[in-house]
Amino acid sequence: MNSHQASGTAQGTVFPATSESILTVENLHAGYGPIKVLHGMSLTVARGEIHAIVGANGAGKSTLLRVVSGLLRLQSGSIRFQNADITNSRPDEIVKLGVSQAPEGHRVFKGLSVEENLRLGAYMRSDKSTATISSSLEEVFDYFPKLRDRRRQLAGTLSGGEQQMCAIGRALMASPKLLIIDELSLGLAPVIVEELLSILTRIHASGGSILLVEQDVSVALGFSDRASVVQSGRVIMDGVARELLDNPEIITSYLGG
């Protein structure tokens, strides 16, 4: 159990590889025109776990997220979410099924207010009734009280940490079963990262599964249940995150040991 995970809750449960999977990707091959990036990537995210993807710059982590979200077409391979085959499904269909992503670089619509940004996140969900959206908005504001205080402020004028909260809040507005976050800590002060991790712990405790791409390997492995290490478009190692943190190969390659 890590410092972000309180005892006596559902948090921090380490899921064995045999747990029911929420996301399974198999033998993915994808890239950009002639540039091949994913070379047979396979991994499984268990329902209810926080799963980290770590690896060096350019290893293919964001590319993996793009194919899972339907933003980039696969050359071959398959992606299953719960019981549905979502291989090369459209992004809006994937969001409707329950996969929602906070993009890299805590991207927000800078010229829109915080509340407008959050409401946009609900655009793809099937139940768009006023009551449901208001209730989700309240839930997001409960997780991120700073966003409630700044609901009328232009998102472009928020601090980096607040923009990340807004990007995660927007993803939550789709009511995801799997929340994907691309680079949680990038460019943010450690104290802000701590704050975000404790909020993610609460989101996880309410039953959410989280797939986290994170360049800070010690943050990723210290926080997650399981992790996959990606190199050159393939998973080269996976397992219980805390055990990987003690793995000599990981220490040498990623933790400067």
Binding region for ligand ATP (CB under 6 A): 32, 35, 37, 55, 57-63, 215
For the chain, what's the residue count?
Answer: 257
For residue 25, give both structure tokens: 């990707």
CA dihedral (223, 229, 235, 239) positive or negative: negative
Cβ at position 92, least distance to ligand ATP in Å: 21
| Nearer of residues 89 and 231 to ligand ATP, judged by Cβ | 231
Cβ at position 68, least distance to ligand ATP in Å: 12
| Nearer of residues 112 and 186 to ligand ATP, judged by Cβ | 186
Cβ at position 9, least distance to ligand ATP in Å: 31
Q: How far apart are CA 65 and CA 158, in angstroms?
A: 26
B/e letters for 42-67, b = 16+ CB within 10 Å, e = fewer, are ebbbbebbbbbbbbeeebbbbbbbbb
| Nearer of residues 43 and 118 to ligand ATP, judged by Cβ | 43
Cβ at position 185, least distance to ligand ATP in Å: 12
> Do residues 174 and 8 lie in contact, with contact meaning Cβ atoms separated by under 8 Å?
no
> Do residues 61 and 30 lie in contact, with contact meaning Cβ atoms separated by under 8 Å?
no
| Nearer of residues 32 and 123 to ligand ATP, judged by Cβ | 32
| Nearer of residues 104 and 139 to ligand ATP, judged by Cβ | 104
Cβ at position 76, least distance to ligand ATP in Å: 17
Q: Give me the helix-helix angle, 160-172 and 130-143, nearest 10°.
A: 140
For residue 21, give both structure tokens: 């999977």
CB under 8 Å, gap of 24 or more: what pairs does 33-36 form?
36/75, 36/233
Cβ at position 237, least distance to ligand ATP in Å: 15
Task: Please compute, for residue 215, the number of CA atoms within 13 A of its CA located in the half-sphere on the CB side.
Answer: 14
Cβ at position 161, least distance to ligand ATP in Å: 20
| Nearer of residues 66 and 226 to ligand ATP, judged by Cβ | 66
Give me the phi and psi of 45, to 5 degrees please.
-105, 125
| Nearer of residues 36 and 146 to ligand ATP, judged by Cβ | 36
* Among 28, 73, 11, 21, CA closest to 207: 11
Q: How far apart are CA 46 and CA 200, in angstroms?
A: 17
